[in-house]
Amino acid sequence: MAKQGKYAIHPDFAHYPAIPFPFNRFVVSLINGLMDMDTFFRQRHLLKKAIKHSVVSADGASFNVYQFMPDDFKTGEKLPAIVYYHGGAFVLKYASTHLVSMDIYAQRARCAVFMVDYRLAPKYVFPKGFEDCFAALQWGATHAEKLHVDSKRIAIAGDSAGGTFSAGVAQKVKDAGGPAICGQLLIYPALDKSSSTESATAFLDTPLWNGVANKKMWEMYLRDYAGKAAPPYAAPNDRSDLGGLVTAYVENAEFDPLRDEAEAYAKRLQTAGVKTVFNPTKGTVHGYDTVFDSEISKAAMQQRLDFLKLIFG
């Protein structure tokens, strides 16, 4: 184990910078433009083979969903599916690395993957992006036949802010009585708006993501609820009763301000009687799994795939 400053971060992730994350609209727009360029030059072949769908949200706004399929898909098959919500602090677009992950899930779990290009803050704060995420699940379930999907084997998944959406959507599914999902996969999710856990208050200078940025993110994302309790589904750990939620996989990173809230949520799910796989990765930082050739990243991906195969049956 090699140290980056005071943290025993594994050498595979020691190159990640520790930089403050700005929530300035101009800077966020610039970063998203650079991410678009990165996706175009690195992974445009993956985006080209995806099928782009236009989906309508609860307020009538349209957003895109990208469908990835296994290369050996045969016409007439009904596949299990993942509705995937990418991370990015609620403000960033999907990254080129997200496309790589979508293809891995499609090929190795042999399923359809629907990556949701939801509306972004700071222009669209809660509930807009969340409504897009729930609408994408409803759309996928409603059009399962046409999309070559088995409606009884649809899971939801997401990383970071996408994990927030996944946990919130799972809660809304229970309250609304559908659409039916077979599992929720939460990868280093943001779940606690208070930013008051030990990891959130201690990790103020960790690579890629830190407690300072985490607090600013929640203030920005829930700015319409300043001084008030968060509305249902916005900050999933606020929910008092987790009983009856769908089978879950929860993964965290060791040197990540979100570490403790993910662990706490996994334990609360287990206490509430929800079947839950908890994977606490070691020597890792937020976003560590974008180093695809790391043995640690490979092991985590295998655990996610094992979970998907379990819930898909």
Which residue of the set 132, 159, 256, 289 is catalytic? 256
Pairing of strands 149-159, 112-117: unpaired
Q: Buried (b) or exposed (e) across 188-197, using 16+ Cβ within 10 A?
A: bbbbbbebeb
Active site residue 194: no
Catalytic hit among 286, 289, 294, 297: 286
Tell me the two tokens of residue 136.
């994408």
d(Cα 222, Cα 166) in Å, to the nearest integer?
Answer: 17
For residues 105 and 51, give the distance between their C-alpha atoms in angstroms, rounded to a whole number.
16
Question: Which residue segment(s) compose the domain that 52 sits in?
Answer: 11-312
How far apart CA 13 and CA 5 sit, in angstroms, is 13
Query: Per the domain annotation, does 1 fall within a domain?
Result: no
The CA angle 142-148-150, to the nearest 5 degrees, is: 65
Contact 173, 247 (CB under 8 A): no
Is residue 256 one of the residues assigned to a domain?
A: yes
The domain that holds 278 is classified in CATH as 3.40.50.1820
pLDDT by 10s per residue, the chain, length 313: 444 568 999 999 989 999 889 899 999 999 999 999 999 999 999 999 999 999 999 999 999 999 999 999 999 999 999 999 999 999 999 999 999 999 999 999 999 999 999 999 999 999 999 999 999 999 999 999 999 999 999 999 999 999 999 999 999 999 999 999 999 999 999 999 999 999 999 999 999 999 999 999 999 999 999 989 999 999 999 999 999 999 999 999 999 999 999 999 999 999 999 999 999 999 999 999 999 999 999 999 999 999 999 999 9
Residue 201 to residues 87, 161, 179, 215, 307, Cα–Cα distance (Å):
21, 19, 37, 10, 31
Choosing from 57, 96, 160, 199, which is the catalytic residue? 160
Q: Is residue 35 part of a domain?
A: yes
Please indicate, yes or no, if residue 2 is contained in any of the structural domains.
no
Start-end of H helices in the chain = 25-49, 96-108, 128-142, 161-176, 198-202, 211-221, 259-271, 295-312
Kindly state whether residue 257 falls inside one of the protein's structural domains. Answer: yes
Q: What does the alpha-carbon distance between residue 197 and residue 261 come to, in Å, rounded to a whole number?
A: 7
Assess whether 160 carries a catalytic annotation: yes
The model's pTM: 0.97
β-strands 62-68, 51-56 pairing = antiparallel
Inside any domain, residue 4 = no
Q: Which class for 12: exposed (0-12), middle (13-18), buried (19 or more C-beta within 10 A)?
A: middle
> What is the DSSP code string of 261-311?
HHHHHHHHHHHTT--EEEEE-SS-BTTGGG-TT-HHHHHHHHHHHHHHHHH
Residue 144, domain member (yes or no): yes
Kindly compute the dihedral angle of the four CA atoms of residues 164, 25, 120, 68, in this order, to the nearest 10 degrees: -100
Residue 277 belongs to some domain of the structure: yes
Q: Are strands 62-68 and 112-117 parallel, antiparallel or unpaired?
A: antiparallel
User: How many structural domains is the chain composed of?
Assistant: 1
Dihedral sign, CA of 174, 176, 177, 179? negative
Q: Which pLDDT does position 5 carry in this prediction?
A: 66
Q: Specify whether the CB–CB gap between 312 and 153 falls below 8 A.
A: yes
3 state DSSP class of 1: coil
